[in-house]
Amino acid sequence: MSDIYVPGVKSRFNTEKLVEDLMKVERIPRDRAEQTVENLQTEKTYWQDVGRRMTSLRESSRLLYSFQNPFNDRVVFSSDDSILSGTAARDAVEQERSFIVKQVAAADRFLSTPLDENYRIEEGRYSFTVGEDEIAFNFRGGSLKDFTEALNRRGRDKLKASIITVEPGTRSLLVESLVTGAGNRLGFSEAAETLALATGMVDKVDDSRRDIALSPASVRGRSGDVNSSLVSVLDGTLQVAAGGEARITLGQPIQAAGALTISFETATKTKTDADLTTAGPPPGPAVPSAGSASYGGITVENDPSSVPMPQWTPPEPPKRVDDLGVLLLTFSDGTSAALPPVRDSENFNTYQYRLGDIAGSRTIVSMDLVNNNTHRDISIRNVRIFDPDANDGFRPRNAVSVAQDAIISMEGIEVKRPTNTIDDLIPGVTLTAKTASDRQVRLGVEPDRDSIKEAIIDLVGNYNRLMADINVLTRNDDRVIQELTYLTREEQDEMRERLGSFSGDSTLNQFRNNLQRIASAPYPTSADRELSMLAQIGIGTDVRRSGASSGYDASRLRGYLEIDEKALDAALQTKLPAIQQLFGYDTDGDLIIDSGIAHAVDTLARPFVETGGIISLKTGTIDSRISQEQRRIETLDRQLANKEDTLKRQYGQMEGAYNRMEQTATSLDQFSRRANNNN
């Protein structure tokens, strides 16, 4: 049919272009609505970005006065972290103490002698002990690898085994306890005992431990009887006063061999000059009474007799002697050797010495306490001799380490713990002993000023980022972007797209003005006028020092904050309590913060960013407008589709009519030519 429009067939009148040109005019309202949606979505994005900036500023401000504020954080500093370090909880008290790490805690780690690569372990029940815990299992027999895997499966967090190649072509079995402390010795029983002996991991020895009981029967004088006025024994403690001496008998003589060790505790008590008694003048001879005479009831007393006495000169006080080398070991050959000096402390301190280092090959028969001091009494208790490497009759042959406690001296007070992590010595402080050393380590607890400074810088950074966004959105001046020198070229181009987008919005302008007022206002603190503003801790819109150029700078008038780190560091060192109050302060004592910069910023930002707040209302309104425009676009799309169909149909009908007219004209022309031919 000639009146039907067929797409794809070239029209004589270029109907497709005519329809398209007409439709472009018809689509103008639709295109405008689509552009409106894009603009609204961009505006919504800008408000969301501002909301995120406000939320970041509010969170950083709340951090400075909330319950978890960094002003209550504590940090531990150590003069030598390689020896002793620590961490502190928020309830730790500021303090500084001195420590000496005498010994770090360790666990038993025993290594066997080199074994053949194909060494096999026999079947049996293998039982190990770590302190009071027992790890036992049945082994069906197998290689060293099979045994270590079986032990590790059952050792949990107590025991571990591994294979070490000490010499080429051999394997050594390492069995180690995973629990430190002298009370957690590694023990072997049943088949494990046989294995430890067979592989040369331990040797069987006699238990040589000997506790020396201090009693009147075991304490004697060095050359005769004990001077009871200077020497006393009470409840297992021997006390020798100044100038006294005593000998502690050991019962059977002791041969100083191997790792045999002597252990004891001592304490001192120092006297002042006033405590020492000095002799007075001699009383002189006794003179009999002179008598009397009586007559007629009257008694006359004779003058008393007198004996002339020479003038008395008091003796000079004894020269003060301070000698802490009071302990000696006496040997069977009549010689003796002094033990190292003890500490001058009223608290008992523990000492341990390897007998072989002092006695050599000599036999020890007694221990002497010779107190040459004039102003100091010496006490000793808990004397014992033992082999520290022996455990239930076994001594490790190749001990990588031996179970021992950590020994730490704090301000002269010696403490022992089974682990190197000590959390019950100083309240709120956890100490970690790393290496034994004779050097004194100063350990202190102080506020975490680095965290406080970081939190303040974070607040200022969020403040400036929000202020920059608001300035760009509310101003049409490109200099606002040029002043942000930290932006990359791409970020500057993105900012220019936003420039002046909210220039007529009074909400943001009012927020900016209030924020600037908060940053420059004074706040009450315990330091009063000495510290009541941010500028007094090195934070302000212009922190240039005196003498620097003070010419006009428009960027300093836009509300951005600067930080003088030196001034801030100095204030954090000297005025920390007042700085905390500057950001958040309970002025009325009701345990609720009601003043301070951080509190004011939080109060200002809260109605903007909270659920249902101003930012939510702004974006909600935009969403409603976007929905309206999208519905309008859908309606326009339907109308445009109908309009385009109508135009195409009408132009198709027009072309059909034109074609019919052409056919009629052609028919008339042919009829006329035939008529002329017939004539």
Residues 585-631 have pLDDT tens digits of: 999 989 899 999 999 999 999 999 999 999 999 999 999 999 998 89
Residues 547-578: tens digit of each pLDDT? 455 555 666 778 899 999 999 999 999 999 99
- pLDDT for the residue 7: 47
The residues near 49 (Cβ < 8 Å, ≥ 6 apart) are 469
The residues near 332 (Cβ < 8 Å, ≥ 6 apart) are 253, 362, 363, 364, 365
Q: Is the pLDDT of residue 1 over 50?
A: no
CB burial readout 2-41, b (16+ within 10 A) else e: eeebeeeeeeeeebeeebeeeeeeebeebeebbebbeebe
Q: Is the pLDDT of residue 481 over 60?
A: yes
Using CA atoms of 439, 440, 446, 452 in order, give the dihedral in degrees to the nearest 10: -10
Q: How many residues does the chain have?
A: 679
Residues 86 and 432 sit within 8 Å (Cβ to Cβ): yes
- pLDDT for the residue 13: 62
The type of residue at 279 is: A
Residue, of 210 and 165, whose pLDDT is higher: 165
Residues 52-92: tens digit of each pLDDT? 999 999 999 999 999 899 999 999 999 999 999 999 999 99
DSSP 387: -
The type of residue at 181 is: G
The residues near 223 (Cβ < 8 Å, ≥ 6 apart) are none
**208-271+321-389 placed in CATH 2.60.120.260:** yes
Crossing angle (nearest 10°) for helices 28-63 and 449-474:
160
Q: Is the pLDDT of residue 12 over 70?
A: no
CA distance 327 to 238: 13
Which residue in 12, 56, 62 sits closest to 593, CA to CA?
62
Q: Is the pLDDT of residue 206 over 50?
A: yes
As given in the structure block, the two tokens for residue 40 are 């609204």
The residues near 239 (Cβ < 8 Å, ≥ 6 apart) are 231, 232, 233, 377, 378, 379
- pLDDT for the residue 355: 87
3-state secondary structure 213-235: CCCCCCEEECCECCCCCCEEEEC
- pLDDT for the residue 407: 94
Q: Is the pLDDT of residue 124 over 90?
A: yes
For the ranges 277-286, 308-317, 333-342, the lowest mean pLDDT is seen at 277-286
As given in the structure block, the two tokens for residue 446 are 């102080």
Which residue in 381, 484, 508, 384 sits closest to 49, CA to CA?
508
Task: Provide the pLDDT confidence category of residue 526 given band limits of 50, 70 and 90.
Answer: very high
Residue, of 556 and 349, whose pLDDT is higher: 349
Residue, of 99 and 673, whose pLDDT is higher: 99
Task: Provide the pLDDT confidence category of residue 299 given band limits of 50, 70 and 90.
Answer: confident
Which residue in 520, 498, 391, 470 sits closest to 131, CA to CA?
391
Q: Is the pLDDT of residue 104 over 60?
A: yes
- pLDDT for the residue 2: 45
Which residue in 581, 580, 559, 560 sits closest to 453, CA to CA?
580
Average pLDDT over residues 668-678: 78
CB burial readout 617-650, b (16+ within 10 A) else e: ebbeebeebbeebeebbeebeeeeeebbeebbee
CA distance 456 to 406: 40
Average pLDDT over residues 215-224: 85
Please report, for residues 286, 362, 366, 382, the alpha-carbon distance to residue 253 in angstroms, rounded to integers and kept in the order given.
Answer: 57, 10, 8, 19
Residues 355 and 262 sit within 8 Å (Cβ to Cβ): yes
As given in the structure block, the two tokens for residue 58 are 């509010």
Work out the angle at residue 403's Cα, subtended by the Cα atoms of residues 397 and 407, and round it to the nearest 5 degrees. Answer: 135
Which residue in 548, 539, 560, 346 sits closest to 457, CA to CA?
539
Average pLDDT over residues 258-268: 87
Kindly report the backbone phi and psi dihedral angles of residue 464, in degrees, each rounded to the nearest multiple of 5, phi listed first: -70, -40
Burial of 434: CB neighbours in 10 Å, binned 0-12, 13-18, 19+: middle
Task: Provide the pLDDT confidence category of residue 196 given band limits of 50, 70 and 90.
Answer: very high
Which residue in 606, 616, 613 sits closest to 58, CA to CA?
606
Residues 228-245: tens digit of each pLDDT? 889 999 988 999 998 899
- pLDDT for the residue 167: 87
CA distance 245 to 248: 10
Q: Is the pLDDT of residue 5 over 60?
A: no
Report the mean per-residue pLDDT for the chain: 87
Residues 247-257: tens digit of each pLDDT? 998 878 888 77
Please report, for residues 65, 171, 422, 665, the alpha-carbon distance to residue 591 in angstroms, rounded to integers and kept in the order given.
Answer: 12, 68, 34, 104
CA distance 626 to 668: 62
The type of residue at 569 is: D
Residues 207 and 393 sit within 8 Å (Cβ to Cβ): yes
CA distance 214 to 196: 38
